[in-house]
């Protein structure tokens, strides 16, 4: 599959926005991306970011970044900073300042008071457990709270005292008075305000009551003039409530909510809560562990913003859901790196080769193209008497059709000469620890006379190469649906114990000593790699494998 063959992905929201602009319903499209700052963004959020910022970009509108920060206990400035960085890394910029739902707490409070005054809200003293019991179920209607018919005066007084901090967490709440028998449970007198004596990262200790998500989201959209409020399908049943608030409050605009199917990717967890658990319990080395499905993880692993955006384009936007194969994400990054990553050689399991007929003190500088198709210039590679090839490229008892090095056989060194294996030196246990070879001086850039040499292997000069560490990453989970654990188990039981293999003492070609974290490489015959942004140091290089050359899973 190449890019040109991938089907043009559909986005059902595009024609809706277009029609609203053509009909004059909206002069300008305004969308928003509303993360809760309670964790790092993951690949699912990338879909939402590309969708919201993408629609605004395509139709000449704006997209806001608004932190949905109504739950101070779980939120943190660390997450706010990381989320801003992730959005920009993906290549998007929000219009105006970063916004916070907490910017609107005063207005939301006034609107809550307005609902009390119009008889549409009341203070309820049921405990959270009692409220649950009163709420009913999908098959049974709820029951009215015994506090539902309090007078407006009493409600105003109690709500003011909730705000003043007179009551303990959970002792009372403010609820909308809608319909306890509504088939849609979200309309059974939903909570507008909870008591929570908690410090807030934006508003400090100003508030000890906090609005619910439902009471915050639509009104924030209205305040910001959002035209198309796009969210995932779990919120479809909240839409009647979203609209109820807009209809019962003097809001400045009437945004409309649309739902799309969230991204589910096989072999991958896309839940902040579970990702946090992986971090907190030490199953991975932090949010930016290159095996994580977080954007910081993909970034450290070497994924490019362009490959992420292409992936989101490929999967499209619809309401049907389903599970996307992780192979599509890997296809997107391979396609980008094949076109744009410089070629280099790195020997992961070095086996020393002494070329016995090459003069001891001679070094020949070879010049190799950095890319087979793009003009990226060349790099110099010294050829000398001692080199390394990969231990896996020599086989004493090769299977039929083996194209690499075998006793008495020949192979071409990439960009260099043809060598023949004359003798293998072994240790006491019989392991091959060194090869004695001879080279054919007539084969630089030429086929040898009178015989065919099929195999090509990568190599580096022994003295001039750079020792490095290489980290091979694989899927973090063994099973396609990690959340569906075996009986009684959890997604943690599906962790792939071989998801990280660390190789030390690898040897990289000399030009790699100058690599920077922004560089991407194809290590010939090994895969795509980049420097680890955290652990790599000059003189102690660490490379991460972004993705293998081909899909070799299963």
Smallest distance from the beta carbon of 239 to Mg ion, in angstroms? 16
CB of residue 250 vs ligand ATP: minimum separation in angstroms?
Answer: 26
507 near ligand ATP, rule: CB under 6 A: no
Q: Which long-range contacts (CB under 8 A, 24 or more apart) does 498-502 make?
A: 498/474, 499/291, 499/473, 499/474, 499/475, 500/291, 500/471, 500/472, 500/473, 500/474, 501/471, 501/472, 501/474, 502/469, 502/470, 502/471, 502/472
Catalytic residue among 14, 84, 262, 349: 262
Q: Which of 36, 243, 434, 483 is catalytic?
A: 36
> Residue 8 CB: number of other CB atoms within 10 A?
8
Nearest to ligand ATP by Cβ — which residue?
A: 44
**Does 290 belong to an annotated binding site?**
no
The C-alpha atoms of residue 275 and residue 293 are separated, in whole angstroms, by 8
272 in catalytic set: yes
Do residues 34 and 48 touch, judged by C-beta distance below 8 A?
Answer: no
State how beta strands 350-355 and 432-440 pair: parallel
35 lines the binding site for ligand ATP (CB under 6 A)? yes
* Residue 47 interacting with ligand ATP (CB under 6 A): yes
Q: Which of 194, 272, 404, 545 is catalytic?
A: 272
- Segment contacting Mg ion by CB under 5 A, of 16-24, 31-39, 81-89, 146-154: 31-39
Give the contact letters, 187-226, x = binds to ligand ATP (CB under 6 A), - = no. Answer: ----------------------------------------
Out of ligand ATP, Mg ion, none, what residue 231 binds, judged by CB under 5 to 8 A for its kind, is ligand ATP
Contacts of 542 (CB under 8 A, 6+ apart): 468, 469, 470, 471, 531, 532, 535, 536
CB-based burial label for 386 (10 Å; 0-12, 13-18, 19+): middle
Verify binding: residue 293, ligand ATP, rule CB under 6 A: no
- Residue 289: name its binding partner from ligand ATP, Mg ion, none (Cβ under 5 to 8 Å by kind): none
Phi and psi at 251, nearest 5°, equal -75, 150
Q: Is 150 helix (H, G, I), strand (E, B) or coil?
A: coil
Give the integer Cα–Cα distance in Å for 529 and 543: 6
295 marked as part of a ligand binding site: no
> Is residue 270 within the footprint of ligand ATP (CB under 6 A)?
yes
Per CB under 6 A, the list member of 50, 263, 353, 381 interacting with ligand ATP is 263
Report in angstroms the alpha-carbon separations of 179 from 143, 185, 234, 365.
Answer: 9, 9, 21, 82
- Whether residue 66 contacts residue 48, with contact meaning beta carbons closer than 8 Å, is answered with no
Check binding of 297 to ligand ATP (CB under 6 A). no
With H, G, I as helix, E, B as strand and everything else as coil, classify residue 515: coil
Q: Can residue 45 be called a binding residue for ligand ATP (CB under 6 A)?
A: yes
Task: Confirm or reject binding of residue 294 to ligand ATP (CB under 6 A).
Answer: no
CB of 373 vs ligand ATP, minimal distance in Å: 35
Q: Is 21 annotated as a binding residue?
A: no
Q: Which stretch binds Mg ion (CB under 5 A): 6-14, 30-38, 159-167, 484-492?
A: 30-38
Residues in 49-78 at the binding interface with ligand ATP, rule: CB under 6 A: 68
42 labelled as ligand-binding?
yes
Question: Per CB under 6 A, does 228 bind ligand ATP?
Answer: no
Token pair listed for 279: 């971090």
Phi then psi dihedrals of residue 54, to 5 deg: -65, -45
Of 34-42, 301-309, 357-365, 504-512, the window that binds ligand ATP (rule: CB under 6 A) is 34-42
Our CB check for ligand ATP shows the closer of 42 and 404 to be 42
Whether 291 is catalytic: no
Active site residue 262: yes
524 closest CA partner among 404, 415, 362, 376: 415
Find the distance separating the first CA and the last CA of the chain, reported in whole Å. 19
If the CB atoms of residues 395 and 483 are measured against ligand ATP, the closer one turns out to be 483
Please give the size of the binding site for Mg ion, defined by CB under 5 A: 1
Q: Is 52 annotated as a binding residue?
A: no
189, interface contact from ligand ATP, Mg ion, none, CB < 5-8 Å by kind: none
Nearer to ligand ATP, 37 or 142 (CB): 37
What is the spatial distance between Cα 302 and Cα 532, in angstroms, rounded to a whole number?
Answer: 8
Q: Are 376 and 369 in contact (CB under 8 A)?
A: yes
Residue 43 marked in a binding site: yes
Distance separating alpha carbons of residues 152 and 297, to the nearest angstrom = 52
Nearest residue (CB) to ligand ATP, 35 versus 290: 35
Distance set, CA 553 to CA 6, 300, 318, 550 (Å): 21, 22, 28, 9
Per the annotation, binding residues for ATP are 36-38, 42-48, 232, 262-263
Catalytic residues, by residue number, are 36, 262, 272
Binding site for ligand ATP (CB under 6 A): 34-36, 44-45, 47-48, 68, 231-232, 262-263, 270-273
Binding site for Mg ion (CB under 5 A): 36
């Amino acid at each position: 599959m190449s890019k040109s063959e991938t089907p043009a992905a559909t986005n059902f929201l595009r024609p809706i926005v277009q029609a609203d602009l053509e009909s004059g319903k909206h002069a300008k499209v305004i969308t928003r991306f509303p993360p809760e700052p309670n964790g790092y963004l993951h690949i699912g959020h990338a879909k939402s970011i590309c969708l919201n910022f993408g629609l605004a970009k395509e139709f000449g509108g704006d997209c806001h970044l608004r932190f949905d920060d109504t739950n101070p206990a779980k939120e943190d400035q660390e997450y706010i900073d990381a989320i801003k960085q992730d959005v920009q890394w993906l290549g998007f910029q929000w219009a105006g300042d970063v916004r916070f739902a907490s910017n609107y707490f005063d207005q939301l409070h006034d609107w809550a008071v307005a609902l009390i005054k119009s008889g549409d809200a009341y203070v309820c003293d049921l405990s959270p457990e009692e409220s649950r019991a009163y709420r009913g179920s999908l098959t049974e209607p709820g029951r009215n709270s015994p506090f539902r018919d309090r007078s407006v005066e009493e409600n105003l007084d109690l709500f003011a005292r909730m705000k003043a901090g007179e009551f303990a967490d959970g002792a009372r709440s403010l609820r909308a008075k809608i319909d306890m028998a509504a088939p849609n449970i979200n309309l059974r007198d939903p909570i507008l305000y909870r008591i929570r004596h908690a410090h807030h990262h934006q508003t400090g200790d100003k508030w000890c009551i906090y609005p619910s998500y439902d009471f915050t989201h639509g009104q924030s959209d209205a305040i910001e003039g959002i035209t198309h409020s796009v969210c995932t399908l779990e919120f479809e049943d909240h839409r009647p409530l979203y609209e109820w608030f807009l209809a019962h409050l003097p809001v400045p605009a009437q945004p409309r909510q649309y739902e799309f199917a969230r991204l589910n990717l096989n072999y991958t967890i896309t839940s902040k809560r579970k990702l946090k658990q992986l971090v907190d319990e030490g199953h991975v080395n932090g949010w930016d562990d290159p095996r994580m499905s977080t954007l910081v993880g993909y970034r450290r692993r070497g994924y490019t913003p362009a490959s992420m955006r292409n992936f989101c384009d490929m999967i499209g936007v619809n309401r049907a859901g389903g599970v996307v194969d992780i192979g599509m994400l890997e296809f997107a990054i391979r396609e980008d790196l094949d076109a744009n990553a410089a070629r280099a050689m790195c020997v992961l399991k070095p086996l020393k080769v002494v070329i016995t007929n090459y003069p001891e003190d001679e070094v020949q500088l070879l010049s190799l193209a950095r890319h087979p198709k793009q003009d990226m210039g060349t790099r110099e590679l010294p050829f000398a008497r001692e080199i390394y090839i990969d231990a896996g490229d020599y086989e004493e008892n090769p299977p039929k059709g083996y194209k690499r090095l075998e006793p008495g056989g020949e192979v071409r060194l990439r960009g260099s000469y043809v060598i023949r294996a004359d003798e293998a030196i072994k240790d006491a246990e019989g392991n091959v620890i060194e090869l004695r070879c001879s080279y054919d001086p007539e084969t630089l850039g030429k086929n040898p006379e009178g015989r065919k040499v099929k195999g090509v292997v990568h190599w580096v000069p022994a003295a001039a190469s750079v020792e490095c560490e290489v980290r091979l990453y694989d899927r973090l989970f063994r099973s396609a649906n990690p959340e569906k654990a075996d009986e009684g188990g959890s997604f943690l039981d599906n962790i792939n114990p071989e998801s990280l293999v660390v190789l030390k003492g690898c040897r990289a070609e000399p030009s790699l000593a100058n690599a920077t974290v922004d560089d991407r490489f194809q290590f010939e015959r090994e895969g795509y790699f980049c420097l680890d942004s955290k652990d790599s140091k000059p003189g102690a290089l660490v490379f991460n494998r972004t993705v293998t050359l081909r899909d070799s899973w299963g």
